[in-house]
Structure 1
Amino acid sequence: MFDKQRTNRVRWACRRGMLELDVLLLPFYEEVFHDLSDADKLTFERLLTCDDPDLFAWVMGHKACEDRDLAAMVDTIVKRVKA
């Protein structure tokens, strides 16, 4: 499902317009993405289509993500950073 080309696109999408998101998303991709289930990879890929202000608000806890799957992925990313 995630061939090399698609995986490279996901990696590229981790590069954001906000440095704060770059330091969260790129290390998560490098260290965790390849071990995720296909369903979680799809969720992460979908998360990367969201706008930077929304992503930032979600990871900082300023706003709750209404999409349950995306909220769970955000929680996974935040927990990884805190570990």
Structure 2
Amino acid sequence: MNFNRFRIEWECRRGMRELDEMIMPFYKNHFDNLSEAQQTTFVEMLKFTDPELFRWLMNQEKAPQPEMQQLVELIQKSLEV
């Protein structure tokens, strides 16, 4: 699938600094290595609000779809390095 990279990068810029520090590095360092399905899920995930994303990434709630939850876990693992 052909993604609009400028738009995705813009949507990675969140209102919460904590999210910026998790989502943008993941996008820059790992997006190209994701499967097409994972890339699509990532783009869909960016449509959710900052508080929702924050709760998922902080393990306060599970993401609404299993594919999204798997992506949340990938983002979390990428931060452990």
Q: Pick from 32, 54, 57 the counterpart of residue 56 of structure 1.
A: 54
Return structure 1 stretches of 4+ with deviation > 2 angstroms: none
Structure 2 alignment gaps of length 5 or more: none
TM-score normalized by the length of structure 1: 0.91
Could you list the per-position Cα deviations for residues 32-68 of structure 1 after superposition, in whole angstroms to 9, with x for gaps in the alignment? 0011111110000001001110100000011122311
TM-score normalized by the length of structure 2: 0.93
| Cα separation, 1, equivalents of 2:2 and 2:19 | 23
* Identity score, percent: 37
| Cα separation, 2, equivalents of 1:30 and 1:48 | 14
| Cα separation, 2, equivalents of 1:48 and 1:60 | 16
Deviation at 1:7, TM superposition (A): 1.6
Structure 1 residue 36 and structure 2 residue 34: aligned?
Answer: yes
Q: Secondary structure at the match of 1:32?
A: helix
Structure 1 residue 15 and structure 2 residue 13: aligned?
Answer: yes
What count of residue pairs does the alignment treat as equivalent?
81
Amino acid at match of 2:60: H
User: Aligned-residue CA RMSD in angstroms?
Assistant: 1.0
